[in-house]
Structures are given as C-alpha cells and as structure tokens.
Amino acid sequence: MSDRQQPTNARLIPDRLTSRLKDNLMSWPSLLLVVALLIFLANSLASPYFLSPWALSDATFNFTEKAIIALAMALLIVSGEIDISVSGIIAITSTMMGVALQFGADTTTLVLVGLSVGLICGAFNGVLVTKLGLPSIVVTIGTMSLFRGISFIILGDKSYKNYPESFAYFGQGYLYWVISFEFVLYLLLAVGFYILLHKTNFGRHVFTIGNNAVAAEFSGVRVARVKFVLFCLTGLMAGVAAILLTSRLGSTRPSIARGWELEVITMVVLGGVNILGGSGSVQGVVIAAFIMGLVTFGLGLLNVPGIIMSVILGILLITVIALPTLLSKFKNRQ
Amino acid sequence: MNILKKLAAATALSALVLGAAPSFAETKIALVVKSLGNGFFDAAAKGAEDAAAELGDVTIIYTGPTTATAEGQIEIINSLIAQQVDAIAISANDPDALVPVLKKAMSRGIKVISWDSGVAEEGRQIHLNPSETALIGETIFKLAADYLPDGGDVAILSASSTAANQNSWIEAGKAALPTMFPKLNLVAVVYGDDDSVKSTDEAKGLIASYPNLKAIIAPTTVGVVAAAQVVTDMGLIGKINVTGLALPSEFKQFIDNGSSMAVALWNPIDLGYSAVYLAYGLANGSVAEPGATLSIGKVGEVTLDDTNSTAMAAPFTFDASNIEKFSKIY
C-alpha cells in the first residue's frame, strides 16, 4: 500500500486497493471517463451516423438492461460474492410474467409479478449462500441452470406474446423526445446505488465484508444479513431487467437473455470493482457500461463482425485493468 | 450525466455533419442472418452479392450475431437503423422478439423483408419461403421421372408417419402424379422415422418386396443417405436410382458412385439473391400487398399470398455437374 498518511477518521475503511495517484485525478472512474470520451470521439470520426440523437438513443437500449443488473452485481462483488444466475433469473421472471399474462394479468400485475419473482430468486440464492454457507459461485451456477430449466419446462419451444399495449412502454417508450424510459430509470437507479454504496453505513459494511468478512463479523457487522440483502437486490434488479427486456421484445422465450451474466460481470470488472471483493465504485461501473455500449455500437455502425467485437472488448478489458497496475509499478520505481 | 450534455451538443453537430453530407443514390441493403460463420448463410451472402452486381447501384451489408440469438440480431438492427440503410432482409432467430425493433425500422422508412426463417406478419413487409409444398412434391417425383424415360415402379422412404412436412409433400406429389408423371408407378410408402438403422431396414425391405423397383424417393436427409448406402452395399448401382431431398455435403459420395443421379434441396445462393431483389424492389417503389407480383431477377417472379408470404422456387437440383461446388457450401 502507499506510504501516504491514511485519513484520521477511524470509521473510514479504504475502498480501493490500488494506490491513490494524485487522488481523484488519477482515480479509476476518471481514467475510465477519459477512455469513454476517447471512444466517443473515435466513433464520431469513424462513422457519420454516430452523432445523431436517435442513433445514440437507440444505442442505449443495447446495454441499459445489463447495466441495471451490473449496479447490484457491483455491490455483490465488492462484498466478495458473485451471482452467475442473473440471466436465468431473467428467463424465469419473463416466463412467470407470461404465465400471469395467460391468466389475464394487466400491466400493473405483470410488473409486480416480475419484481416479486426476481426478488424471490435472489432471496433463494441468498438463503443458500448465507444459511447453508455454500460458495456463491457454485450456488449460482446451479441456480442459473435451475431457473432457466424451469422456463424451458414451462415453455418448451413455445413463446408467450401479446403483452398489453401499455406494457410495451417500459422497454420501448420515451419520456421526452429521444430520452427513453429505460435510460432514465437506469440513471435514477445508478444514483440510488451510488448513495447506497458510498454514502450509507450499509455501503461501508459492504466494503468491510469484502475486505475481511471475519473481522467484519467480530466488529459487529451482520455479515450474513448484508449479503442476503445484496443477493435480494441483485435478483430484484434482474427482475427489473426482465420487465424491460420482455417489454422491449414483446414476447418471452426460454432462451431469453442467454449469456448475459458474462457481459454484466465484464461491466463490473471493467468498472474497477475488484473481482476478489473489497473495492470498487458505482461511478466506475456506470462509465464502464457506457464504454461497452459505445464500443459495441460504434463497431456495429462500421459493420464489424461480432467475433472481432468480442476480441476488441477483451483487449479493452485487459488494457484498462492492467494500466493502473503498470502505473503504480512505475510510480514505485521512482 | 455527462453523456446527456454530449448528446445535446451532438445534436447540433450532427445536423451540420449530416446536412453537409452528399446524398448517395445507391441502395443499401442489409442481409441479416441467424449467425455468422454458417456455410448456408455465407452462400446466401454470395447470392446477395451476385444480385447487387446485377442491379448495379446496390451495396450489401452482410451481418449477423456471433451466436444465434434474437437479442444479438436486435443490437445489429439498431445499428442498421442508425446507418439509415434502405432495406433489411433478415433470417430471424425468433419470429416474435424481433417484431418491435423491425417495426421501429419500418417507422423510420426502412423496408423490411424476412427470408428463410420468417418474422411475424406485423414485423415485415414480405416473407420469402425457400419453396412450397406443391413445388417440393412435384420435384421429388420429377427427380425420379427424369431418369426413367420408360417409367417404372418407384417407392417412397419417408421420415415418420406423423411428420407433417413429409406427409404434405408426398400428398402434393401424389396429386401431381397422374397428370405430370403418368409413367411412374408408386408401389409403396414406408417410414424410416429419420433413424439410420430403421431407414436402412425399410430400404432393404422395399428392394426385397418389389423386384422391379427402379427408384427410391426419400424426401428426408436421413432416409436418402440410408437408401443410397443400401443400394451401394447391395451392388444395385445402375439398377435402382436413389433420389429425394439431401444435403449436398452429406450426399456427395452417392452422386459420385452413381447410386443417385440427382437430389434436391433449397439453394441458399438463389435465396440470398432473391431476397436482395425483393428488398431492392421495395426500396425503389414497388408495393408489397396480397396478390402483387414481384421480380426476383433471373430466378423468376413471385406472387404474394394473403399474408404477404411467397415461395421462391422448386428445390434446387444437385447432380454430378454441381455437387462438388455445393458440397463445400452446406
């Protein structure tokens, strides 16, 4: 760690493991912001279609739902846990909304079903991890198959469609001009999660647990309860994402959102959250979501094949992760 | 957030950039496939390029997701909308999930057709099927008749007795038999259940039961391979001609050894070619409505039915002259 004087406030626990180079100026979110702006600039130069309000608005749809899950996932990973089952939660949530639809549910009921199923799935993961003490990666790999499996059993090769007209608003509606409902909801949730992680005691507890769960327990932090709440939150956000995605697709199929868990976790890691827990910031994860959205949309405008996009995102991830480590090594040598 | 400010600034800037850009007369057509790296779709893209070369002022954007998901195709369609393409021709991963984004594309003035794997009616203007029941039924008998100028006994080795596809093709073929192929004598229809072992046994049974059998017609890719293998193994090459619907890559060896003169299946090159012609037509003023007749270039023309769907052509025939080429494609 750095040889700087730690702040005197005894309650403050360091929330990043990398050294504080010129503090905020060189912080991870600032670095990411620079990357994001560079990508924005590159996109503007590379394609004449990029700088159009509708194009940018359309681009947000490609990552908003994943980014919403990434907010909760960030907190979960900071606490030292992980949830691989989020795409499975989307599948089962969307399927249950479809089932409710068959019983004539209106839009309000559909949303309530979506939120509750997401929450219940998250709580189920939470109970398995905190009450039975199982490792979260194992539990959620299991529930990932379980949740999606139930969708496949219910739906097979069929699909649910004909959702009510008003339900389409969540994933396709605009609040004002090009500003979509989805996007505004995401920004509001981002502010909410920022406050939760960085401005509340609960957030401090999350960092404490991620740094040393045993020490946290002995310091009076109710570790199991905090973790349980985080799993519930992740399930709830997956439920929100399921509502938005189902509304955007206007239909449910059991293969919905397959493979999203990796993209969500990539956003979180790119956002500077330590995959081993203990450090990270919501700002970073938000900017990372924009970076991933901008890169994929920018490359999409140039009609770059998806497989090359994956390669570029991989290189970007490694570069952004490696850069601070290299910088701090360089600084230590001086 | 910062992006919002950028967005506002971008609006003003884009007006300048786009306003100054010269307007191109060329037609941009996006060929969106289920997933990239699939030989069938690469062949369709080749056909699309052929059509573009014929039409002259057309640019083809051949694209698709890495994995065959509806979400992946939606991301691609969003970027195509932003690029202001003139038309999208898609083979869809999901008939329903793509409807909202394709509706959005149509509302921004983009023409949308689906081909191969369709989109629900409200999400596209035309759907192009590779073929249709009557044409397939006629083709499977024609393949046998072409090599039996004097007629003779033929038998059908189908998939399962409940397979809706095969049953409807066989029925359509039987209906055409008296008028189009009067010399053919259909002696039996047996079912191999798309199982190699059962298909092999049924083929052997046919040969034992009907000593004058001249051709076995198998309108299933599993059955046709099994029958050709039986004919080869029993030394009946030249006596019994095996034909039906077959994948060129699986079936090449039997065309090569003479146990089959020709088989048929949908031709992806023609499919991509025709899809581009239809998309080009829509982008340049032709109207998609039930009953309308539209050109698909050298492949001919198609007439739209009540749901604005249409079928391209009879299945494409593979014989010794072209099996080499197509076996490398699919």
* Domain CATH number, residue B230: 3.40.50.2300
Same domain as B109, residue B186: no
What are B288-328's pLDDT values in tens digits? 888 888 888 888 888 888 888 888 887 889 988 888 888 88
Q: B3 lies in a domain?
A: no
- CB nearest to A300's CB, from B2, B21, B79: B79
CB atoms inside a 10 Å sphere around CB A4: 9
CB neighbours of A291 closer than 8 A, spacing ≥ 6?
A: A32, A35, A36, A39, A270, A316
Same domain as B186, residue B112: no
Token pair for A294: 């901008």
- CB nearest to B79's CB, from A253, A257, A301: A301
Minimal CA separation from A77 to chain B, in Å = 24
Give me the residue label for tokens 């992006």.
B3
Q: B21 lies in a domain?
A: no
Same domain as B213, residue B185: yes
Number of domains in chain B: 2
Residue numbers in A near B83 (CB within 8 A): 47, 49, 301, 303
Distance CA A245, CA A227 (A): 27
How far CA B283 is from CA of A64, A117, A321, B49, in Å, comes to: 32, 45, 46, 17
Which residues 140-169 of A have a C-beta within 8 angstroms of B?
159, 161, 168
- The per-residue pLDDT for A24 is 59
Same domain as B272, residue B260: no
Residue numbers in B near A258 (CB within 8 A): 67, 69
Q: B323 lies in a domain?
A: no
Same domain as B231, residue B137: yes
- The per-residue pLDDT for B160 is 81
How far CA A332 is from CA of A279, A319, B253, in Å, comes to: 21, 20, 68
Same domain as B138, residue B261: yes
- The per-residue pLDDT for A22 is 54
B287 touches chain A (CB under 8 A): no
Local confidence pLDDT in tens for the 334 residues of chain A? 444 444 455 566 666 655 555 565 567 888 889 889 999 999 999 888 888 898 899 889 999 999 999 999 999 999 999 999 999 999 999 999 999 999 999 999 999 999 999 999 999 999 999 999 999 999 999 999 999 999 999 998 788 989 999 999 999 999 988 899 999 999 999 999 999 999 999 999 999 999 999 999 999 999 999 999 999 999 999 999 999 999 999 999 998 998 899 999 999 999 989 888 999 999 999 999 999 999 989 998 988 887 888 888 888 888 877 777 787 788 777 6
Return the CATH class of domain A52-323. mainly alpha
Q: B7 lies in a domain?
A: no
Minimal CA separation from A259 to chain B, in Å = 10
Distance CA B198, CA A201 (A): 70
User: What residue segments make up the domains of chain A, in order of their start?
Assistant: 52-323
Q: Collapsing DSSP states into helix, strand and coil, what is residue B222?
A: helix
Residue that is last in its domain, among B236, B265, B294: B265
Counting one residue from chain A and one from chain B, the pairs whose CB atoms sit within 8 A come to 117
With 60 as the cut, is the pLDDT of residue B2 above it?
no
Same domain as B83, residue B167: no
Interface probe, candidates B1, B2, B3, chain A, greatest A C-beta count within 10 A: B3
- The per-residue pLDDT for B303 is 85
How far CA B16 is from CA of A43, A49, A301, B262, in Å, comes to: 17, 12, 19, 60
Contact B296, B277 (CB under 8 A): yes
Same domain as B137, residue B257: yes
Contact B78, B45 (CB under 8 A): no
- Which residue range(s) make up the domain with B149? 133-265
CB atoms inside a 10 Å sphere around CB B8: 11
Give me the residue label for tokens 């999606």.
A148
Q: B285 lies in a domain?
A: yes
Distance CA B151, CA A178 (A): 68
Contact A145, A254 (CB under 8 A): no
CB contact under 8 A, A248 and B3: no
pLDDT-derived band at B228, boundaries 50, 70, 90: very high
Q: Collapsing DSSP states into helix, strand and coil, what is residue B112?
A: strand
Question: What mean pLDDT do residues B197-216 have?
Answer: 94
CB contact under 8 A, A250 and B69: no
Distance CA B301, CA B298 (A): 8
Q: Which of A216, A206, A198 is nearest to A283 (CA)?
A: A198
Distance CA B202, CA A299 (A): 54
The residue in chain A having the minimum alpha-carbon distance to the alpha carbon of residue B81 is A55
- The per-residue pLDDT for B204 is 95
Contact B312, B302 (CB under 8 A): yes
B134 touches chain A (CB under 8 A): no
- Rg of the Cα atoms in chain B: 23
Interface probe, candidates A251, A292, A297, chain B, greatest B C-beta count within 10 A: A251
Q: Which of B263, B226, B104 is nearest to A55 (CA)?
A: B104
A128 residue type, one letter: L
Same domain as B237, residue B137: yes
CB contact under 8 A, B66 and A248: no
Distance CA B83, CA B24 (A): 13
B318 residue type, one letter: F
Contact A94, A239 (CB under 8 A): no
Residue numbers in B near A61 (CB within 8 A): 78
Above pLDDT 90, what percent of chain B? Answer: 49
Q: B158 lies in a domain?
A: yes
Cα B219–chain centre separation: 15
